[in-house]
Amino acid sequence: MNFVFLIPLVAALASISSLAQERIYRCGNEYTNTVPNNAQARGCKLVEGGNVTVVQGTRPAAAPTTRPAAASAPASVPRIDTSEQKARDSDARQILESELKKAEVRQADLLKEYNNGEPDKQGSEARNYQKYLDRVAEMKANLARLDSDIAGIRRELGRLPSAR
């Protein structure tokens, strides 16, 4: 008896969904649901089958046709003597080299303490294994961070002009 009301309801819902579908036309790479005036001239065709979803992308910026002039500092920025720049580069190299030595020493100490993933247990870690695992994970993260720092310092040293 409940099916008597269910069948007309389903039929009504099906007819409503078919009314919601509009005809979609493809004109080259463009999809539209309105027929353009010159559909024949543009070669528009009716798209049959499933629904079409078109996502608008961004258009690439046009490449400049002229090459920009070499970048130069504005007139308000003072020029630095080559000797002063060499001194600054030398200072920067010394600072980076000292930072690299500190990081390498810290890494060596941490590697020794890490003991290939099996550091010695401390105090309450003998009774609380999770505390030990947390400390090991923190040491491993610190080692990864130090490796990244050392690689970054070496990259910066490589960017500086060679010492003379």
Question: For 4-18, how does the pLDDT look when each residue is reduced to its tens digit (9 = 90+)?
Answer: 666 776 666 665 555
Same domain, residue pair 154 and 86: yes
Same domain (yes/no): 155, 92: yes
Last residue of a domain, one of 52, 68, 99: 52
Any domain includes 46: yes
Rounded to 5 degrees, φ, ψ at 9 are -65, -45
Same domain, 94 and 154: yes
**Do the domain assignments include residue 30?**
yes
Residues 164, 162: Cα–Cα separation, whole Å: 6
Residue 4 in any domain: the answer is: no
- Per-residue model confidence (pLDDT) at position 56: 75
- The overall average pLDDT reported for the chain is 81
33, 91: one domain: no
| Whole-angstrom distance, CA of residue 29 vs CA of residue 14 | 31
36 band by pLDDT with thresholds 50, 70 and 90:
low
Contact 131, 124 (CB under 8 A): yes
Domain assignment present for 121: yes
**89 and 143 within one domain:** yes
pLDDT above 90 as % of the chain: 39
Same domain? 86 vs 146? yes
The number of domains in the chain is 2
68 domain-assigned = no
> Lowest-pLDDT range, 10-19, 50-59, 83-92?
10-19
Same domain, 44 and 88: no
Q: Is residue 5 part of a domain?
A: no
Query: In this structure, which long-range contacts are made by residues 104-109, counting pairs with CB atoms below 8 Å and at least 24 apart in sequence?
Result: 104/150, 106/146, 107/143, 107/146, 107/147, 107/150
The answer to whether residue 65 is domain-embedded is no
pLDDT surpasses 60 at 68: no
Inside any domain, residue 144: yes
The confidence score (pLDDT) of residue 108 equals 96
Q: What is the pLDDT of residue 3?
A: 65
Q: How far is CA 101 from CA 67, 115, 155, in A?
A: 43, 21, 14
| Global pTM exceeds 0.75 | no
Per-residue pLDDT band for 25 (boundaries 50, 70, 90) equals confident
Structural domain boundaries, residue 129? 82-159
